[in-house]
Structure 1
């Protein structure tokens, strides 16, 4: 399908689809010699996912991170989104009841307590983003944190010192090629150490490296050891994961 056909099918603008292409969120499988974008069935499935997440208030950058995560599973995403919609429907039903009661209260037919007047309102942090973060973002990181939190203070200090030394060693070689023998040997030590305190598959390890760059909190902390270390680690971790799978 051409971009105009997709826009008409979905009910969004051609400009929106162009923007998704420009930022790398949804790049059509084909582009003709004349420059026309051609969207495949797979592209439409990805667009559906994007719009579902957008419906729940996710920023485009976060959506891009989620659907490009090595651990992202489309069927699992649909199950989670279904759960989100059911919860949203229940909340809306509750608010409709509140409106109906308020109408009767305004007419003087019933009396509403103060708490009843605000039933269904929820201004808390988006719970769907938290669930998505746990499933497709840094679930492995959280698992490691849970293990660390169970350690004694001395054990935690030892872990912190080990992390510190590994980061320093990696920072010292961050100007080398990520696929060099030296870089790969150092990043292997990082992979092995992480698996002492947690459980990281090669895909999760690669995804973790990507998060070092995508999540500025990680980038800022890692780059304290040397500017550009987060990017170096991401690239080296990706090479290590891809090579180890062969």
Structure 2
């Protein structure tokens, strides 16, 4: 089938399919007469795999590595994906139940203990670091941690104040269009600022992924939006545009 047909079948946009082709994630055959992309049954199955991995929050670069690996076994992958999705479902259901109980508690219908208020949450590990390791790999995070840990208390305080000043500046322009010259100049400064303070560890892909995290994790979003409502969403869009354009 052609691109438009596959897009209609899967609800994946034509633009996204073109992007997958461009980065080598899903590369269809080209019609030798008109150059149209032609997707085979194998391509359709591969797209299904891509979407399963995306639902599990795998970045596209990691998905490509997995699917390109000669040892990739589709049957094993499907079994693993099902296991991970069931785990995700159980976490969501536990949190939904806690939410329902909290609503009843607020209405005075029941009384929850403090322990019950946090059923379904698991913060035994740093969620930001886990997400960063998943997106960018251990080396990047270890390098960032090492740089900060090697600072004395005064240096760490200086970095903290510097970050707050940077976010206050970004908050001051959050109402402009993310693609505007003002926003993109700010993103250029922010990109180099992060690398200057963390030892040049952020690639453009990591920069865009960081923007995604600003919105995807509600706790992260809350910390950023304290500088100005809507800042996290603005940064996500502006950072993605900057990474794509550069």
Q: TM-score, normalised by structure 2?
A: 0.53
- Could you tell me how far apart the structure 1 residues matched to 2:237 and 2:207 are? 11
Q: Does 1:204 align with 2:206?
A: yes
Give, in angstroms, the shift of residue 167 of structure 1. 0.3
- Could you tell me how far apart the structure 2 residues matched to 1:168 and 1:183 are? 14
Q: TM-score, normalised by structure 1?
A: 0.53
- Could you tell me how far apart the structure 1 residues matched to 2:135 and 2:188 are? 23
> Residue in 2 aligned with 1:166?
166
> Residue in 2 aligned with 1:9?
none
Secondary structure, aligned partner of 2:242: helix
Asked if the contact 1:70–1:207 (Cα under 8 Å) also holds between the matched residues in 2, the reply is no
Secondary structure, aligned partner of 2:61: coil
| Pair 1:182–1:50, CA change in 2 (3 A) | closer
> Residue in 2 aligned with 1:75?
65
Q: Deviations over 1:194-219 (max 9, x none)?
A: 11114111111111111211122221
| Pair 1:42–1:210, CA change in 2 (3 A) | farther
Structure 1 gap ranges (5+): 2-20, 30-37, 54-59, 86-124
Structure 2 gap ranges (5+): 2-9, 18-38, 77-123
Q: Deviations over 1:87-126 (max 9, x none)?
A: xxxxxxxxxxxxxxxxxxxxxxxxxxxxxxxxxxxxxx89
Q: Deviations over 1:167-209 (max 9, x none)?
A: 0000011001111222112221111111111411111111111
Residues 104-183 of structure 1 mapped to structure 2, 5 A cutoff: 134-136=133-135, 140=140, 143-183=143-183
Q: Return the match for 2:225 from 206, 223, 226.
A: 223
Secondary structure, aligned partner of 1:169: helix
Larger radius of gyration: 1
- Could you tell me how far apart the structure 2 residues matched to 1:42 and 1:181 are? 39
Corresponding pairs, count: 169
